[in-house]
């Protein structure tokens, strides 16, 4: 059975378990998740026993090439065709996820009898199957190798933007379809800005270099951050780097099936705080990675998520000394029953 058929069976089981008749899937990302087909202007209607794809006529041949297990319905007006089909099926409990719709679209679905229901698809996406893990591992491997290739090329006078463009080229040369987000290359004091926008700023001797980057392989994302010092590191940088490295390793070490996501955040945050730098760790410790670069679960102080076998998350503590430098170390990891496997290596 293909992974897409398996996912459809999984969500049909969830629909029956929740006493629901069906769900509409409207985002290209989640349409791909259930079919392997990625286009806009398309909607899937998955009921307890059937699946329908609403397509413009121009997509039909393309869809048939990829999908042979979903009934096709072409349309002149997409929303009207979906509602008409639901009425013909005489189902009363068809849902949509309000988190994937804008306000006006949500109002339209409610007006036509659909119900709001959050998180059903998300509950499937959060646990990665074997094929997903294979793609994630490849994306992470490409990113890790890219760092090894780019580091020796980072010399005095090179600009942040030049490094970012070179990294993107290297990743695509190794098979990535593109970058998973806007790459962050930060030199010197720019590294103290957690979400610095890569600029034309050129590298000088004896400065921190922070690289936060990732790629997409088979539509799955990777995320990795590496920080190093170009030249001779001063004692303060060496001290801060060691603290962050210890915190990050402690977080990875304790990540496993059954632990609260916020406990990983606490482990990293407590270590940094104990060393006197708690106020300089200004963001959460991590997030899920998959079809999107940021997805559930989130590893922060407010999270109620429990880490489970099959999840892929980042662990990325940091210390940022404004006007001086910042240090962040990030790995994407896979949660197993007995611990965590680092994928970005």
The C-alpha atoms of residue 50 and residue 234 are separated, in whole angstroms, by 64
> Structurally, what CATH architecture does the domain formed by 130-342 represent?
Alpha-Beta Complex (3.90)
CATH 3.90.230.10 domain locations along the chain: 130-342
- What is residue 271's predicted lDDT score, i.e. its pLDDT? 98
Q: How far is CA 79 from the centre of its chain?
A: 29
Strand partners for 95: 23, 115
The C-alpha atoms of residue 170 and residue 3 are separated, in whole angstroms, by 30
Q: How far is CA 173 from the centre of its chain?
A: 22
- What is residue 338's predicted lDDT score, i.e. its pLDDT? 85
Residue 300: how many other CB atoms lie within 10 Å: 18
pLDDT digits (tens, 9 = 90+) for 32-81: 999 999 999 999 999 999 999 999 999 999 999 999 999 999 999 999 99
Assigned CATH class of 3-124: alpha beta
- What is residue 1's predicted lDDT score, i.e. its pLDDT? 66
Cβ within 8 Å of residue 159, ≥6 positions away: 199, 200, 201, 202, 203
CATH 3.40.350.10 domain locations along the chain: 3-124
Contact status, residue 256 vs residue 336, Cβ threshold 8 Å: yes
Query: Which residues of the chain have a pLDDT value below 70?
Result: 1
The C-alpha atoms of residue 111 and residue 79 are separated, in whole angstroms, by 12
- What is residue 28's predicted lDDT score, i.e. its pLDDT? 96
pLDDT digits (tens, 9 = 90+) for 94-118: 999 999 999 999 999 999 999 999 9
The C-alpha atoms of residue 162 and residue 302 are separated, in whole angstroms, by 38
Residue 327 to residues 183, 284, 313, Cα–Cα distance (Å): 16, 14, 20
pTM over 0.85: yes
């Amino acid at each position: 059975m293909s992974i897409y058929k398996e996912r459809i069976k999984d969500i049909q089981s969830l629909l029956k378990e929740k006493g629901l008749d069906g769900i509409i899937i409207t985002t290209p990302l989640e349409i791909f998740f259930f079919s392997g087909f990625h286009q806009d202007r398309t909607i899937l209607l998955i009921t307890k026993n059937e699946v329908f794809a609403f397509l413009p006529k121009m997509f039909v041949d393309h869809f048939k090439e990829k999908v042979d297990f979903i009934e096709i319905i072409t349309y002149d007006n997409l929303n009207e065709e979906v509602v008409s089909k639901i009425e013909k099926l005489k189902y009363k409990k068809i849902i949509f996820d309000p988190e994937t719709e804008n306000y006006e679209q949500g109002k339209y679905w409610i007006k036509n009898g659909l119900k709001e229901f959050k998180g059903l698809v998300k509950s499937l996406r959060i646990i990665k199957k074997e094929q997903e893990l294979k793609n994630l591992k490849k994306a992470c491997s490409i990113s890790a190798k890219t760092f090894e290739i780019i580091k020796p090329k980072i010399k005095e006078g090179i600009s942040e933007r030049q490094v970012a463009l070179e990294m993107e080229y290297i990743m695509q040369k190794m098979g990535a379809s593109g970058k998973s987000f806007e790459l962050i290359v930060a030199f010197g004091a720019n590294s103290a800005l957690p979400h610095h926008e890569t600029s034309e700023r050129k590298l000088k001797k004896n400065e921190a270099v922070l690289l936060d980057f990732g790629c997409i392989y088979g539509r799955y994302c990777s995320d990795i951050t590496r920080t190093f010092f170009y030249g001779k590191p001063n004692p303060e940088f060496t001290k801060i780097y060691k603290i962050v490295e210890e915190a990050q390793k402690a977080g990875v070490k304790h990540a496993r099936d059954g632990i609260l996501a916020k406990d990983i955040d606490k482990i990293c945050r407590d270590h940094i705080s104990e060393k006197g730098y708690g106020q300089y760790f200004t963001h959460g410790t991590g997030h899920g990675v998959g079809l999107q670069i940021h997805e559930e679960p989130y590893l922060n102080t407010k999270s109620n998520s429990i880490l489970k076998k099959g999840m892929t998350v980042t662990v990325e503590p940091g210390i940022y000394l404004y006007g001086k430098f910042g240090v962040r170390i990030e790995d994407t990891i896979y949660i197993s029953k007995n611990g965590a496997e680092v994928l970005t290596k």
